[in-house]
Copies of this chain bind each other. A is one copy, B any other.
Amino acid sequence: MSTVRLLSDEELSEEARAVFADIRATRNSDFVNNFWRALAHNPVTLKRTWESIKAVMGPGALDPKIKEMIYIAVSIAHSCPYCIHSHTASARAKGMTEAEFHELIAVVGMASETNRLVTALGVPIDELFEVK
């Protein structure tokens, strides 16, 4: 159930069609997932979001697989089931093992617990952690 219809390839505007073509070329796959089909109603946001994702998630100081795992961690904390599913699929496609996935979520769980304990206790930041 969505708040807008998912667009099929036939329904795309010209600008959206160009973005879909780049998604397919970049990923070397014909499959375009539902997120882009919902976003395609607004070609401006579609293009900006895709360009940003390509820039941020590509290789750099961090390995693309690690980036997908960070993406999953954030998506869990934001309670986004679609995002968790799509980026878990991406991370697995980029080589994340099941052992890595299970350690990832154990860290997410642990951080969630201590985040709330720290907030509950109102712990002041240690001087040693200050950046000068």
Contact = CB atoms under 8 A, between A and B. Distances in A.
A53 to B, nearest CB: 6
Nearest to A35: B123
A112 interface: yes
Interface in A109-126: 109-126
A89 interface: yes
Nearest to A55: B48
Interface residues of A, number: 84
A2 to B, nearest CB: 4
A74 interface: yes
A23 interface: no
Interface in A76-132: 76-89, 97-126, 128-132
Contacts of A38: 118, 121-123
Interface string A49-84: 100110111001110001101111111111111111
B1 A81 contact: yes
Contacts of A117: 35, 39, 45, 49, 105, 108-109
A61 B97 CA distance: 9
